[in-house]
């Protein structure tokens, strides 16, 4: 029993009425004869816990608990939707004792295969017949796996107007592309799960493919992690290496989960058109298929199937023809056209240059370009796709203006067509 105050008078409440995720934790603390204060509210017959605090004496009112207990509580709460005014800062599990405590108390919040794997691996660490090297690998694997929050894959609805606003902030134009993106991910509103297919953004360099990917992360309220396929030459880089090797390590996919600290992520796969290619040990593109099938991904080093139900893949590529049919079939393909000269002009004047000026702490009045100067910038890079060169030009012009303001003690720098031409061709004096 514990004392529950829902009104002016306290009342007794059975422990079994507490959220099932917290029952083992409370029983463990009660064995220590600890005085506890539970924050929460009744949800039907269940008492939904939003916070647990140790108290030295029953009358103590505001004595926060130690950081390890708060980390346990936050991990236990990660898959529920009960509101918290402020989530405690999480500590990573860096000791075996911390891992053992979490598996014992919070194991119910882990996916079944990971819970069984963790229990089996902990027994392996206690086995005297296991070598010290194998134990070190097992401990590292436990640290990686249990420092990921394995969260619920039941996703909240998306506000299409808010999604559109986020995309508009990141990109100018591309109306059809934005519409397709929203149409694809808004399926969550009916299914409460991620779409069956990821997004594949295909278009020339500099057209905003990566910006769209990060914008989708903001819309879904998920962290983004990036995998660059141009750097992958060996499938083992993705799957990890067997623990029999002294220098064995997990693959980049497992490392991405570890960096993000959560199982629900937007996985940005850059340069997907470079994924396929037979190398000495196989084809990296084949490894990606197991991730994209959403049936779980097995890392050789971890020796455990990793749930991927909370992974939303977004691929980017320049050349669709270089992507294999099996990979293409795992995505909703959106082709991104290049911008017209008029669109590039608007992007430069209303987005690129103002963004750069803000970054360096300058006002629009301090760096002014005439109409002819803007036309000169657009003509200068008319043979280039996308807007990267325009953004670099904005950086160059703003940097030059700031230099002149600071060294010449002027209040404003105005660039005409000739001044921009000299600056961008390197003939500025």
Q: What pLDDT is attached to residue 418?
A: 92
- Whether 282 has a pLDDT exceeding 80, the answer reads no
Place of tokens 């990890």: 240
Alpha helix ranges (H) inside 348-424: 353-359, 371-380, 388-408, 417-424
| DSSP 8-state secondary structure symbol assigned to residue 50 | E
Q: Report whether 18 contacts 39 (CB < 8 A).
A: no
pLDDT-based confidence at residue 1 (cuts at 50, 70, 90): low
Give the SS3 label for residue 55: strand
Ranges 48-62, 81-95, 141-155, 192-206: which has the least confidence? 81-95
The pLDDT of residue 162 is above 60: yes
Which residue in 147, 144, 96, 99 sits closest to 249, CA to CA?
A: 144
d(Cα 358, Cα 207) in Å, to the nearest integer? 22
Pairing of strands 198-202, 311-317: parallel
C-alpha–C-alpha distance, residues 155 and 23, integer Å: 26
pLDDT computed for residue 10 by the predictor: 63
Helix, strand or coil, per DSSP, at residue 226: strand
- Let me know if the fold of 160-335 is the same as that of 341-425: no
| Local confidence band at 36 (pLDDT 50, 70, 90 cut-offs) | low
Whole-number percent of the chain with pLDDT over 90 = 29
What is the pLDDT averaged over residues 315-330? 89
Contact by Cβ (8 Å): 247, 137:
no
Q: Out of 35-44, 59-68, 277-286, which region has the weakest mean confidence (pLDDT)?
A: 59-68
Residue 85 — pLDDT band, cuts 50, 70, 90? very low
Q: Around Cβ 11, how many Cβ atoms within 10 Å?
A: 10
Q: How far is CA 51 from CA 22, 88, 204, 265, in A?
A: 10, 10, 50, 26
Q: How many whole angstroms separate alpha carbon 49 and alpha carbon 39?
A: 6
Measured distance CA(415)–CA(368) in Å, rounded? 6
CB contact set of 81 (below 8 Å; sequence gap of 6+):
none
Angle between helix 417-424 and 388-408 (nearest 10)? 100
Around Cβ 220, how many Cβ atoms within 10 Å?
20
How many Å apart are CA 316 and CA 334, to the nearest integer?
Answer: 10
Burial of 86 (0-12, 13-18, 19+ CB in 10 A): exposed
Q: Are 289 and 276 contacting, i.e. CB atoms less than 8 angstroms apart?
A: no
Enumerate the β-bridge partners of residue 53. Answer: 37
DSSP-based three-state secondary structure for 3: strand
Which pLDDT score is estimated for 16?
56
DSSP for 289-349, please give it: HHHHTTS-EEETTTTEEEP-TTEEEEEEES-GGGS-HHHHTTEEEEE-PPPPHHHHHHHII
CA angle, residues 261, 262, 267, in degrees to nearest 5: 100
Chain length of the chain: 429
> pLDDT class for 84, splitting at 50, 70, 90?
very low
Please tell me the distance from the alpha carbon of residue 69 to that of residue 55, in angstroms, as a whole number. Answer: 13
In 3D space, the residue among 99, 187, 184 whose CA is nearest the CA of residue 138 turns out to be: 99
Token look-up 């003939």 returns 427
CA distance 371 to 384: 21
Region 391-395: what's the mean pLDDT?
A: 92
Contact 352, 387 (CB under 8 A): yes
Domain ranges for the chain: 18-82+91-147, 160-335, 341-425
pLDDT at 400: 93
Between CA 93 and CA 143 the distance in angstroms is 7
The helix or strand, by DSSP H or E, that contains position 266, with its residue range, turns out to be strand 265-270
- Return the closest-CA partner of residue 308 out of 329, 291, 331: 291
Least confident of 20-24, 134-138, 247-251, 351-355: 20-24
Quick check: 86 pLDDT over 50? no
Q: Which of the four pLDDT bands, split at 50, 70 and 90, describes residue 406?
A: very high
- Residue 428 scores a pLDDT above 60: no
pLDDT tier at 80, thresholds 50, 70, 90: very low
Q: Does domain 160-335 have CATH number 3.30.930.10?
A: no
Closest to 209 in 3D by CA, of 238, 174, 183, 164: 174
- Domain 341-425: give its CATH code: 1.10.8.60
**Strand 331-335 to strand 198-202: parallel, antiparallel, or no bridges (unpaired)?**
parallel
Dihedral sign for Cα atoms in the order 59, 62, 67, 73? positive
């Amino acid at each position: 029993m514990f004392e529950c105050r829902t009104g002016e008078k306290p009342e007794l409440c059975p422990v079994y009425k507490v959220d099932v995720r917290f029952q083992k934790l409370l029983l463990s603390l009660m064995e220590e004869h600890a005085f506890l204060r539970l924050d929460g509210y009744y949800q039907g017959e269940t008492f939904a816990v939003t916070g647990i605090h140790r108290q030295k004496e029953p009358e103590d009112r505001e004595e926060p608990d130690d950081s390890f207990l708060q980390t346990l509580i936050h991990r236990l709460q990660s898959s529920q939707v009960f509101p918290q005014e402020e989530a405690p800062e999480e500590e990573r599990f860096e000791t075996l004792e911390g891992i053992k405590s979490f598996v014992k108390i919070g194991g119910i919040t882990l996916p079944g295969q990971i819970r069984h794997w963790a229990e089996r691996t902990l027994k392996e660490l206690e086995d005297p017949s296991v070598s010290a090297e194998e134990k070190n690998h097992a401990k590292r694997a436990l640290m990686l796996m249990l420092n990921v929050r394995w969260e619920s894959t039941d996703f909240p609805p998306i506000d299409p107007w808010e999604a559109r606003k986020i995309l508009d902030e990141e990109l100018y134009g591309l109306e059809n592309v934005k519409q397709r993106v929203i149409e694809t991910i808004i399926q969550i509103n009916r299914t409460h799960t991620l779409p069956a297919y990821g997004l594949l953004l295909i278009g020339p360099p500099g057209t905003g493919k990566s910006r769209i990917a990060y914008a989708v992360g903001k819309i879904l309220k998920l962290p983004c992690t990036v995998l660059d396929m141009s750097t992958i030459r060996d499938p083992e880089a993705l799957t990890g290496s067997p623990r029999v090797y002294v220098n064995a390590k997990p693959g980049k996919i497992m490392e991405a989960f570890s960096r993000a600290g959560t199982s629900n992520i937007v996985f940005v796969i850059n340069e997907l058109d470079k994924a396929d290619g037979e190398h000495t040990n196989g084809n990296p593109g084949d490894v990606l298929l197991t991730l994209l099938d959403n049936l779980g991904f097995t890392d050789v080093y971890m020796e455990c199937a990793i749930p991927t139900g909370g992974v939303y893949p977004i691929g980017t590529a320049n050349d669709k023809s270089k992507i294999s049919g099996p990979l293409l079939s795992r995505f909703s393909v959106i082709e991104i056209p290049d911008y017209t000269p008029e669109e590039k002009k608007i992007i430069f004047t209303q987005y690129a240059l103002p963004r750069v000026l803000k970054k360096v702490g300058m006002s629009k009045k301090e760096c002014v370009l005439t109409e002819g100067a803007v036309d000169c910038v657009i003509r200068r890079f008319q043979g280039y796709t996308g807007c990267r060169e325009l953004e670099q030009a904005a950086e160059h012009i703003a940097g030059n203006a700031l230099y002149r303001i600071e060294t010449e003690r002027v209040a404003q720098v105005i660039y005409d067509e000739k001044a921009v031409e000299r600056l961008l061709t390197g003939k500025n004096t």
